Structure 1
């Protein structure tokens, strides 16, 4: 660790500098052997304990959340936010833990979050080639020509001048489908079905790159490790 412990803990969101000073004075911050640490100390992240517990991951944190419907991908908005589903200190970290892209309030499913700006850019960059899989329930029966339209590479969304990249549609029922996208435009799935005369009643993101929710319940989250990141980019 290159910075002093006082600043480091504050940057991890454990409180203001004053809050952390109080924790240190109370002897709540120790090493793994129970030896009290001080604000000027510079010690490895892995040995630090707060109230006897290891710290959250160091900068470079990545997590996966199964976002429920009714929750907004924002730091400030009306109603419930994704940050309400996480430890409060995550929103106070510096650098901040940000959503990787967004899912709208009415869309559920796999949402990645990280405080690693370079990784965030890498995931969202078109160069990454990460596909995203959505499961949609529709208001009307599918006509049968949607798959060909979405795969054509010629579909224009309302108000746009650049056609969509080809996308793959798998029909899973008269009014349900699985759609694989290779780009991420604003409300893209909903607008695609609107373009063919249908309406999305429910939408769930099931996969990003090589990552799936793997049984993670709505509202639950977990940290991602190096093996998960390899899977995300198709290396696992």
Structure 2
């Protein structure tokens, strides 16, 4: 078949109801376009006269944050350098905060040459604090781990002049450090020392749930019935319920036991086994808040590493968990 001849394109006439575009209408449209361009310049790849804008995304984000902070708080925030007087005295290694309150009440503390007896006094960074004529300065924080031997009591001073754990760490530093928590005289194992009062309070407090693992040796085999009762979440002593995080019994003679718990109650491990009629012959703290006795002989001490300090402060709630670096490749 032959192709039919193409007809002329049909062009309908404009209805009389529409108004023809005049020069005035076109001028108004062009004017509007120019105004829009002045307000917002939009990049188009087809317009060669307009260069593609370049942005530093980090700068943009920082500016946005700065503007937002200024809008929310027009008054700039100034980081406070004030410290409570009793805390300042404690940080200087003079005494504990409670003892510092006593010194303040007795009028033994001077600030800038004047006696201060106000308990809530805030020390400024430029203030000169004196005690017994000596200028007090904030000490650097020290953290020491001791593998305590038998026969030493956990205290800073003993009126009966018995051997104390302070004798074992006396050469560790010039700063005044003290034990965090306590171990009985005949209990061996890990014990922390520091002059960081806030850290010591957090770690020793039951709410911090500090992990403790002990190795126990009994005077006779541990009965399976007693083991079953001890594993019961409802197990209680006279001063309340006790929850164990872990319990392991040596099946050979059933005298050696591993026990893990977070409780900070006095003599808790000994009291647990005494409750069932056993005598604890050996009690050794092998793990404390993730710290172990590795390469630390009995009676010796060492400083905590920076990584150990970060971990301990995170576990005690003094520091946020460090974020893991992103694995995404940089563009």
Q: Is the 8 A contact 2:93 2:195 kept in 1?
A: no
Q: Which runs of 5+ in 2 are unaligned?
A: 1-91, 95-138, 316-320, 323-331
Among 287, 308, 312, the residue aligned to 1:228? 308
Matched, 1:123 2:203: yes
Q: Name the residue aligned to 2:147.
A: 66
Larger radius of gyration: 2
Matched, 1:81 2:164: yes
Range with greater deviation from structure 2 (138-147 or 109-118): 138-147
- Per the TM alignment, residue 146 of structure 1 is displaced from its structure 2 partner at its CA by 3.6
Counting only pairs closer than 5 Å after superposition, residues 1-236 of structure 1 correspond to structure 2 as 58-77=139-158, 78-87=161-170, 93=175, 96-158=176-238, 160=239, 162-172=240-250, 173-232=253-312
- Per the TM alignment, residue 130 of structure 1 is displaced from its structure 2 partner at its CA by 1.8
Aligned partner of residue 241 in structure 2, secondary structure: coil
Q: Is the 8 A contact 1:66 1:109 kept in 2?
A: yes
Q: Which runs of 5+ in 1 are unaligned?
A: 1-10, 14-57
- Per the TM alignment, residue 88 of structure 1 is displaced from its structure 2 partner at its CA by 5.3
Write the deviation string for residues 66-115 of structure 1: whole angstroms up to 9, x where unpaired. 0001011112223211111123585x74xx31111000100000001110
Q: Is the 8 A contact 1:147 1:168 kept in 2?
A: no
- Per the TM alignment, residue 228 of structure 1 is displaced from its structure 2 partner at its CA by 1.0
Q: 1:67 to 1:169 in 2, by over 3 A?
A: same
- State TM-score, norm by structure 2: 0.49
* RMSD value, Cα: 2.7
- Per the TM alignment, residue 192 of structure 1 is displaced from its structure 2 partner at its CA by 0.1
Q: Is the 8 A contact 1:147 1:170 kept in 2?
A: no
